[in-house]
Structure 1
Amino acid sequence: MILVADSGSTKTNWIAINEKGETFFKIDTEGLNPAVFSKKTLYDRIITKEELRDIKNDVKEIYFYGAGCGTQNAVNYLRAIFEDIFPNAEMEIYEDTIAAVKSLQTDTPGVVCILGTGSNCSYFDGKETHQKIVSLGYMLMDSASGNYYGKQILKDHAYGKMPAEMAKAFEGQYDLRPDIIKENLYRKDNPNTYLASVGRFLIENKQGEYSQKIIKDGLRFFIENQVLQFEESKNVPIYFVGSIAHFLHDEIVEVLREYDLTLGKIVRHPILTLAASIASKYTN
């Protein structure tokens, strides 16, 4: 059995492939970001999933692509957990940007961006992936991501800057009492996931001047500080991967046009292409 996983901080997509290259199952678990979660949390999120627990001794290979896997310490941290759960498996663990590049199935150079719960950006030269900036996580970076937009609208609501009608809808959908917000941010696990869940409200209500300004300002900041760090960005396609990119397709097109940048394509679920590519090794 082979496991392929694409993980963010909010969710991990898993596909299991049998020895014939056939899909055995597709499941989701909570996110497995080693830069955010404790070993116990990561372990529990895997072992409590019945489908994964049932095949743990049968797994021979694991291909894991995840947020927070950009340093060797993070890779080793996660590897130790996988070795405990899947004792017979060989494994390859990569940063999520590698999954993004591979999912594009191209050997054409381009800038590859991730916009999901968090955000990231790298340059693919046609063979290798290059990164200039190491992410410092959701508190300092992650512009134009789900948790970034969650922070923006929580602050605007607290300062009374959100339009009245939108604020009323926001209050009807979320518990916005200060104590509840602070508990989610400072006492509970996964504050970045909580912020991304709040940010979903902005994406679902993206029409109107207020929402459009926040969304496009976030995209502009991301482009100026992430995409344009690569001199090649003016001459190659800009690709996007992730759920936020999927739902902000039109806004991305508009903002890229402001910077005279060219959109390549947007991929919502890279796991499907990744799994198909790995399965093909066993069917050919």
Structure 2
Amino acid sequence: MILLADGGSTKCDWILLDHNGKQVLKTRTKGLNPAVFKSEVLKTRLYANEDLKSYKDQVKSVHFYGAGCGTPEPTKILEDILVDYFGDSEVMVKEDMVAAVFAATTEPGIVCILGTGSNSCYFDGDNIHMEVESLGYVLMDEASGNYFGKRLLRDYYYKRMPKAIAEEFEKRYDLSPDAIKENVYRNENPNTYLANFAEFIFTSEERNGYFYLLITEGIKKFIENRVMCFPEAQNVPIHFIGSIAHFSQDIIRDALLPYHLTMGNIVRRPIDGIIDYYRNEILA
């Protein structure tokens, strides 16, 4: 059986397929980003899942696609953990952009991830091309969950947030300076902590132009920095993967127009596209 994984900083989805492509197991662990979490955290999160433990001896190969797996060192760390856990299974670890492409298209296009973090690539129909290497949530990640989380916190403290929204924000989260600084500067995975605030944008009872402008500004920055950097951008569809993209698709469509860009597919959960790809291309 083949075990597929779509891993981010917040969560990791796992699907076990038999040799006929039938789904045997679907489960989830906490995020397994090896560029963010220490080895012991990765191990603890993996070993805590009872579903995986029940099937691990039946797994013949593990194909893991994840955030933080785009450079050799963190990729090797996670690979070693998976090899140790799944024993004799064949283990392959690749970056999440590969899974995003599988989920979005089989034709040439720009594929963008808007989740806890953000990234983009050009897919020529055969190979993936990265124009800009991602430097993570501190320096980049425009229009991602942690980008919007940081923006909400800044707007709240600079008193740029409309009063009614600020009051709702206060009720939803612990916004004390000590709590924020503890989570951002001392605790593990500050990117996930920041990204949790982004949920407020899409679940808030109070709706006005503030959220629209907030999202539009982030999407515009992403387009200028992570889409227009590709010479092919105006000749191919622009696909988006992830929850932020799913909930913002109308704004994304509008934001693409001034740049003469064509909206492609919007996929909320890459794991669904990965399953289809494996059933059609690998297990057929």
For the superposition of Structure 1 and Structure 2, which TM-score range results when normalised by the shorter chain? Answer: over 0.9
**Cα distance, 1:159 vs structure 2:** 1.1
SS in 2 for 1:55: helix
Residue 115 (str. 1) matches residue 114 (str. 2): yes
The total of aligned residue pairs comes to 283
Segments of 5+ residues of structure 1 without an aligned counterpart are none
**C-alpha distance 184-97 of structure 1, shift in aligned 2 (>3 A):** same
State TM-score, norm by structure 2: 0.96
Structure 1 partner of 2:49: 49
**Cα distance, 1:280 vs structure 2:** 4.8
Residue 263 (str. 1) matches residue 263 (str. 2): yes
Residue 153 (str. 1) matches residue 152 (str. 2): yes
Q: Provide the alpha-carbon RMSD of the alignment.
A: 1.4
Equivalent-residue separation in structure 1 for 2:273 and 2:84 (angstroms): 28
SS in 2 for 1:252: helix
- Do the aligned residues in 2 keep the contact of 1:147 with 1:199 (CA within 8 Å)? yes
Equivalent-residue separation in structure 2 for 1:277 and 1:127 (angstroms): 14
SS in 2 for 1:193: helix
Q: Describe the superposition over 1:225-256 as per-residue Cα deviations: whole angstroms up to 9, x where unpaired.
A: 11000011011100001110000011100100
> Which amino acid in the other structure matches residue 65 of structure 1?
Y
Structure 2 partner of 1:58: 58
Q: Describe the superposition over 1:75-94 as per-residue Cα deviations: whole angstroms up to 9, x where unpaired.
A: 11111100111111102211
State TM-score, norm by structure 1: 0.96
Equivalent-residue separation in structure 2 for 1:105 and 1:51 (angstroms): 31
**C-alpha distance 282-142 of structure 1, shift in aligned 2 (>3 A):** closer
Q: Describe the superposition over 1:258-282 as per-residue Cα deviations: whole angstroms up to 9, x where unpaired.
A: 2111101101112112123324568
Aligned identity (percent) is 48
Residue 245 (str. 1) matches residue 270 (str. 2): no
**Cα distance, 1:131 vs structure 2:** 0.1
Structure 1 partner of 2:73: 73
SS in 2 for 1:231: coil
- Do the aligned residues in 2 keep the contact of 1:20 with 1:282 (CA within 8 Å)? no
Residue 166 (str. 1) matches residue 165 (str. 2): yes
Runs of 4+ in 1 over 6 A off after TM superposition: none
Equivalent-residue separation in structure 2 for 1:83 and 1:263 (angstroms): 39
Segments of 5+ residues of structure 2 without an aligned counterpart are none
Equivalent-residue separation in structure 2 for 1:17 and 1:100 (angstroms): 19
Equivalent-residue separation in structure 1 for 2:127 and 2:96 (angstroms): 14
